[in-house]
Amino acid sequence: MTSPIFGPITTQRHDNVLVIISNNPPVNALGQAVRAGLAQGIEEALADDSIEAVVIRCDGRTFFAGADITEFGKPPVGPNLPETLDKMEASNKPVVAAIHGTALGGGCEVALACHYRVAVPSAKLGLPEVKLGLIPGAAGTQRLPRLVGAEAALPLVVGGNPISAKQALAIGLVDKIVGEDSLEADAIAFAREQIGKPVPRSSEGTANRDGVRNPAIFDEFRQKNGRKLHGFDAPQAAIAAVKAAGELPYAEGVKKERELFMGLMGGTQSAAMRHYFFAERAANKIDDILADTPLIDIRKVGIIGAGTMGGGIAMNFLSAGIPVTILEMQQEALDRGTATIAKNYDNTAKKGRMKPEQVQQAMGNLSTSLDYADLADCDLVIEAVFENMDVKKEVFAKLDSVVKQGAILASNTSYLNVDEIAQATTRPGYVLGLHFFSPANIMKLLEIVRGAETRDDVLLTSMKLAKKIGKIAVVSGVCPGFIGNRMLSPRQQQANAMIMEGANYWEIDDVLIDFGFPMGPFQMADLAGTDIGWHRDPTRIENVREALCAAGRFGQKAGKGYYDYDASRSRTPSEETKSIIADFAGREGAQQRAISKQEILERLLYPMVNEGALILDEGMAQRASDIDVVWINGYGWPLYTGGPMFWADTIGLKTIVEGLEKHGLPVSDYLRRKADAGERFTS
Ligand code: 3H9
């Protein structure tokens, strides 16, 4: 018998067991109606003497995936999650969580407040709040360590990555793994077995003794994960909360968690990271294309070029089980490329990230060819050859003549005009840009460049395919450098200008590192090689980079570039580079002056925001948050500031305009209009 009790929550009686069911698509987020329904369901079970046990489960694709993030920042409407869960845990009738899909955040906290947890083998459990700049706020940081111990709780609460049902069973977070297709029946049977036994409550658990016995685990954890946690507030708070669980009585620990949670919730980092959560999902949507547009079936992919880029791109498809044929001009290049792919897979397997049979399967799906005709039956061909328009056009004309009709032809160009490339074919509707970032098998970002004639099904198929191969895709219009490199360009211009005016190049790098980037522009140049695009004529020196090359300072690979590098690749500023720069500045007659860190920051980042505004005004990005997704995933913009456009909103567009004017830099009409109207880029 099913009885609706409150919106998305229904209850079903199975003799002496009451099953409380949530149906709140898409992810059973714990919004107000769900919380109220859960509280009522528990009350119903307690009030009925014929009910002796309770099972809580969810319909749809997942157990509760967390608090409803869309409610954050709005006036709270009760019952709140902590009080709902306290009511659940206080029940003297056993309550069992029946878990499938992902029990995340508040969802995991529901499971922790239940007396028992059973899960299907494919289920995952986790506390990902740190990824939203938060910590668990419904006693998760206090119940979990008491249930599984501080050592097992730390990585879950601080790292935020979910674990499998099997791992959860191993640490005691799950009591039993049940049948993949018999969750409800197995959970009911399990619940019946618990009737009459004293109910175990996580809040009363004693597993947290390590926190007291060995307080060093917290510092050790901090040290081991220092680099990953650097700059983020939430992981520090998460460590403090788990530590408190070992030091304070439960009620005081909960109070401490609440204080930390509320502090984070009101801060800018969480606002930025919540913005990013929705930004990443919004980037998936193409506003003017119907979501049900039929897709093109991609069963085989061709890649032209077996270099670093081509090989990296190939690995994405091979790892996803899609056969790939790589084409090159010379057998030698093919052999080298294949060996590199095999070596990369080998390393992945050594790190335990892939099983040997998975590697074998991936390599088994790779074929190579010297003949364009072998690409004829590909559904998608991606060109990753030298960045030169004439070369690209030649490749596309050739592809057009051999590859079957209806197949997608893509260029991995990072700045060339995709429309011009498309015109080299008789099927411009099937041409688009797929701009992977290096190393292409690792970097998450994919810029999908929509040409003037790119068909809807071609674009949508590429978006879906990106998801399948684990990429975060953002659509860009056709403009030089697309979204990412186009915005990099004004930053680089300012960096170059400032070293001529007296700023030290390492200060420029350090300002960006302090801001949260993994490296600055001059370190980046050294890493990539200062000789990219060098004409190799040491007598023709027109800029600092060419002078560095003429002096054999080719970057990290040469042990010296802008910086000097030691054997462990530590960088120190170089006297030689300093004098090369001074020499150029002297020749240009540039006035030298001390430039403050604040000026450096403003001159590096404000012009990027201005460029972002132009990109939006020209319709090259669908929305400001897409720009943030590009910069966070492709260029290391710190996630906790939300990306360039959200960051600009945080400091205020008026401030950006004033800063640009103060430094004599251009201000676009669009940016000025928004600033004058007191508007923001992001919502
Ligand atoms: C928390 O729990 C705090 C508590 O400790 C304390 C409380 C006091 N809320 O990702 P998808 C939407 S913090 C609202 O594309 P998938 C999402 O925006 C929370 N909406 O699906 C999207 O909407 P749209 C801790 C949410 O299958 C749609 O659902 N929990 C929420 O690739 C589908 O999402 C988390 O951080 C939410 N919590 O992945 C988990 N979650 O269709 C966050 C999703 O309009 N969620 N939506 O674009 C996830 O990690 C993934 O969504 C999940 C499914 C793995 C569950």
Centroid of ligand 1 to alpha carbon of 133 (angstroms): 14
Average pLDDT over residues 93-107: 98
The predicted structure's pLDDT at residue 173:
98
Other beta carbons within 10 angstroms of residue 287's beta carbon come to 8
Residue type, 435: H
What was the ipTM of the complex prediction? 0.99
Indicate which atom in ligand 1 lies nearest the CA of residue 284: 48
Do the Cβ atoms of 407 and 381 come closer than 8 Å?
Answer: yes
Q: Are 148 and 246 in contact (CB under 8 A)?
A: no
Annotated catalytic residues are: 109, 129
DSSP 328: -
Give the pLDDT confidence of 438-464 residue by residue, as tens digits.
999 999 999 999 999 999 999 999 999
Task: Kindly tell me if the per-residue pLDDT of 214 is higher than 90.
Answer: no
For ligand 1, the distance from its centroid to the CA atom of residue 200, given in whole angstroms, is 30
Q: Go through the domains of the chain in sequence order and give each one's CATH number.
A: 2-266 (3.90.226.10), 301-482 (3.40.50.720), 503-588 (1.10.1040.50), 597-619+622-677 (1.10.1040.10)
At residue 3, the pLDDT reads: 63
Query: Which pLDDT tens digit goes with each residue over 76-91?
Result: 999 999 999 999 999 9
Q: Which residue reads 């411009």 in tokens? A: 428
Band of pLDDT at residue 492, cut at 50, 70 and 90:
very high
Atom of ligand 1 nearest to the CA of 80: 8
How many angstroms separate the alpha carbon of residue 275 from the centre of ligand 1? 13
227 phi/psi in degrees, rounded to 5: -65, -40
For the stretch 403-432, pLDDT in tens is 999 999 999 999 999 999 999 999 999 999
The predicted pLDDT at position 210 comes to: 77
Give whole-number Cα distances, 303 to 321, 327, 328, 567, in Å: 15, 6, 9, 36
Q: Rounded CA gap, 427 and 454, in Å?
A: 9
Ligand 1 test: best mutation among 69, 127, 164, most atoms within 8 Å of CB? 69
Q: What value, to the nearest 5°, has the Cα angle with vertex 20 and ends 17 and 26? A: 150
296 neighbors 286 (Cβ within 8 angstroms)? no
Return the residue whose CA atom lies nearest to atom 7 of ligand 1: 137
Q: Which residues contact 197 (CB under 8 A, 6 or more apart)?
A: 94
Q: Is the pLDDT of residue 568 over 80?
A: yes
- What is the Å distance from ligand 1's center to 190 Cα? 29
Q: Report residues whose beta carbon is within 6 angstroms of any ligand 1 atom.
A: 26-27, 29, 62, 65-70, 81, 102, 104-106, 109, 128-129, 132, 136-138, 140, 281
DSSP string, 136-201: --SSHHHHHHHHH-HHHHHIIIII---EEHHHHHHHTS-SEE--TT-HHHHHHHHHHHHTTSPPP-
Whole-number pLDDT of residue 6:
58
Distance between CA 508 and CA 505 in Å, rounded?
5
State the closest ligand 1 atom to the C-alpha of 81, by its place in the atom list counted from 1: 8
Ligand 1: which of 27, 34, 463 to mutate, judged by most atoms within 8 Å of the beta carbon? 27
**Residue nearest to ligand 1 atom 49, measured at CA:** 65
Q: Is the pLDDT of residue 1 over 70?
A: no
> What is the overall mean pLDDT for the chain?
96
For tokens 């490199």, what's the residue?
485
Q: Whose CA is nearest to atom 8 of ligand 1?
A: 137
| 70 Cα nearest atom in ligand 1 | 14
pLDDT tens column, 229-262: 889 999 999 999 999 999 999 999 999 999 999 9
Atom of ligand 1 nearest to the CA of 61: 27
